[in-house]
Amino acid sequence: MPDRLAPFRWLAAPATDNVRNPLGDIFSVSFFQGVEPADVAARFEPSGTAVRSMTLDELGDEVAEFVEETDGGDGGGYVGITRIGDWSVAIEPCGRHTALGENLARLAQGCEAVAVGRHDYAEHGFLYAVDGEIVTAFTPHAPVNRWGSDPDRLKEPMRRVGLPLTATTGKAAWDTRWDDALPKAFALAAMITGVTLTPNSFDGPLLVASITEWAQA
């Protein structure tokens, strides 16, 4: 039987695997429908601070410098934004600020938005927002516990990607749920957005905005 999660497993790959994962083991990806990258950048930089164009490697250098200066307590400090189909997609290396409810709600004013966060040393996250309101959110390894204005809005697509809607017990069930949690979360994001991320999705020029103020909020 084909592995339906195969296109998304690189997003959960450990650094030791022979899989190209340029995003690492802590990152957030957020998707904004019908909003241009420059407009998304302006939502992160409302003061009008100039944004810059960078490659993913250059963004990584900026993030590494920020992490070193802050001892890693404030995330990566920057997001890189590109356009994929009808959606602008923002990558936040070494950070989870865009996958927090209050932040995504602010960013999603007047649009539909999805955010998925990977954090191997804390917990992953999934959020779906419409016009400034978190509609459905959950931790991918525990999707039974959903919150938002309509926690059941995504029940059918969640079922289709294999995210359990009722409690399961036993070590085997827990191991499967944990191992597949992040690929299933990105598969759900792809069902909503039509965007299947690949290791090359962020290879082009990225519009980079600082999120230092968000990190300190």
pLDDT greater at residue 160 or residue 18: 160
User: Quick one: pLDDT at residue 18?
Assistant: 76
Poorest-confidence range of 101-110, 161-170, 181-190?
161-170
User: pLDDT over 70 for what percent of the chain?
Assistant: 91
User: Quick one: pLDDT at residue 179?
Assistant: 75
User: Quick one: pLDDT at residue 157?
Assistant: 97
d(CA 67, CA 58): 14
Exposure string of 44-83, with b = 16+ CB inside 10 Å and e = fewer, is: bbeeeeebbebebeebbebbeebbeeeeeebbbbbbbbbb
Mean pLDDT of 22-45: 94
pTM: 0.92
User: Quick one: pLDDT at residue 74?
Assistant: 85
pLDDT greater at residue 172 or residue 150: 150
* pLDDT at residue 145 greater than cutoff 60: yes
> Strand, coil or helix: what is 109?
coil
The answer to whether residues 76 and 66 touch, using CB atoms and an 8 Å cutoff, is yes
Neighbour-count burial of 102, counting CB atoms closer than 10 A to its CB (0-12 exposed, 13-18 middle, 19+ buried): exposed
> So where are the chain's domains?
6-216
Q: What is the pLDDT of residues 41-91, one digit of tens each?
A: 999 887 766 689 999 999 999 999 999 999 888 899 999 999 999 999 999
Confidence band, pLDDT 50/70/90 cuts, at residue 175: very low
Poorest-confidence range of 7-16, 17-26, 46-55?
46-55
**Which residues, 6 or more positions from 84, have their beta carbon under 8 angstroms from its beta carbon?**
195, 201
The answer to whether residues 91 and 206 touch, using CB atoms and an 8 Å cutoff, is yes
Mean pLDDT of 181-204: 97
Residue 3: Cβ within 10 Å count: 9
Average pLDDT for the chain:
90
